[in-house]
């Protein structure tokens, strides 16, 4: 009987421990870990980043090294991805292009999220004229074909990775702004904001310290999805010949340079195209996982 009583007591303690409320961060982490595609996306993205930055170091070729003797070759033991029309090693160039493509996508996501967070928070909190102006600007940008604008600006500006990222961010921040504006409209009349206002906090302090931290999760999700969009836009821009200037390259530039060899050497198109696809998939998988993990209404399966 004593053993039974001890067992019942231990079981009750275990149940009480299991029922102990968990922090939102821990619940979000468990939800993210349970999202299998998100975990695949994280490992795939990390693998690609390591490959892009370490790959050129294990090769004996430079990304702009010309060798006419070995030009236009297919994949081989000497040149793993083959060579282009100037005899440049495509493995090193693909890794170099992947570096720029990753950089453009990450910088674009961060810049677009920052712009969207600032404009969305200001519009939602202050309302009235400012909200009308920001909403009008958002609607105008949403009616514009981003690719068409990029093509026009690509002719005007000297395209570098930072310029491309900045242009794409300026054209795509509206998605995050709409999400942040809607959330700020919900939060600005909540008790914690009213308490901060009653305590004498300034409007900018309330926005920075109380509202933005509460919309950071949604903004992070938008940043990851915008990073995937940036990869597609950059690749399209480079494919149309308005990417970074030679001898620098991106994955989209490699596809553009190889489009004439699609019949004779399809690997020149398929390899950089496949890398673009993998980057976009990895980023979108992570974005989907973050969206589910940071949604407080999502039920955690234990």
16 vs 253, higher pLDDT: 253
- The pLDDT value recorded for residue 205 is 84
3-class DSSP assignment, residue 62: coil
| Ordered alpha helix ranges (H), 35-79 | 36-54
Rg (CA), the chain: 25
CA pseudo-torsion sign 96, 242, 176, 277: negative
Residue 116 has pLDDT above 80, yes or no: yes
**Burial classification of residue 282, based on how many CB atoms lie within 10 Å of its CB (0-12 exposed, 13-18 middle, 19 or more buried):** buried
What are the extents of the domains in the chain?
26-293
- The pLDDT value recorded for residue 21 is 56
C-alpha distances out from residue 38 to 101, 230, 275, 287, Å: 21, 19, 18, 8
> Residue 83: what are its φ and ψ, rounded to 5°?
-135, 160
User: In terms of Cα–Cα distance, which of 98, 94, 57, 60 is closest to 77?
Assistant: 60
Predicted structure pTM score: 0.78
User: In terms of Cα–Cα distance, which of 144, 146, 155 is closest to 240?
Assistant: 155
Q: How far apart are CA 271 and CA 249, in angstroms?
A: 14
For 199-244, the pLDDT digits (tens) are 888 888 888 888 888 787 788 888 888 888 888 888 888 777 777 7
- The pLDDT value recorded for residue 55 is 84
Task: Count other Cβ atoms within 10 Å, centred on residue 24.
Answer: 11
> Under a CB-based contact definition with an 8 Å cutoff, are residues 72 and 133 in contact?
no
**Which CATH architecture best describes the domain 26-293?**
Orthogonal Bundle (1.10)
- The pLDDT value recorded for residue 182 is 86
pLDDT above 70 covers what percent of the chain? 89
For 127-186, the pLDDT digits (tens) are 888 888 888 888 888 777 777 777 777 777 777 788 888 888 888 888 888 888 888 888
């Amino acid at each position: 009987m004593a053993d039974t009583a001890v067992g019942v007591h231990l079981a009750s303690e275990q149940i009480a421990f299991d029922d102990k409320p968990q922090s939102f961060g821990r619940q979000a982490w468990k939800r993210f870990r349970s999202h299998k595609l998100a975990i695949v996306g994280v490992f795939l993205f990390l693998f690609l980043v390591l490959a892009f930055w370490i790959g050129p170091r294990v090769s004996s070729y430079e990304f702009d090294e010309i060798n006419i003797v070995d030009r236009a070759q297919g994949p081989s033991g000497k040149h793993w991805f083959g060579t282009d029309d100037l005899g440049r090693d495509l493995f090193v160039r693909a890794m170099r292009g992947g570096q720029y493509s990753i950089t453009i996508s990450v910088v674009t996501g961060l810049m677009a999220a920052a712009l969207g967070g600032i404009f969305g928070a200001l519009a939602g909190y202050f309302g009235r004229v400012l909200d009308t102006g920001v909403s009008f600007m958002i609607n105008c940008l949403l009616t514009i074909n981003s690719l068409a604008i990029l093509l026009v600006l690509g002719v005007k500006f000297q395209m570098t990775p930072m310029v491309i990222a900045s242009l794409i961010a300026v054209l795509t921040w509206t998605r995050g702004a709409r999400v942040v504006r809607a959330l700020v409209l919900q939060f600005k009349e909540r008790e914690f904001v009213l308490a901060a206002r009653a305590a004498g906090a300034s409007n900018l302090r309330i926005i920075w310290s109380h509202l933005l931290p509460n919309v950071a999760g949604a903004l992070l999700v938008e940043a990851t999805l915008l990073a995937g969009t940036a990869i597609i836009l950059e690749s399209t821009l480079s494919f149309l010949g308005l990417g970074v200037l030679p001898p620098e390259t991106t994955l989209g530039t490699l596809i553009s340079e190889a489009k004439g060899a699609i019949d004779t050497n399809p690997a020149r198109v398929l390899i950089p195209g496949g890398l673009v696809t993998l980057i976009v998939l990895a980023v979108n998988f992570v974005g989907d996982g973050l969206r589910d993990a940071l949604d407080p209404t999502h039920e955690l399966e234990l």
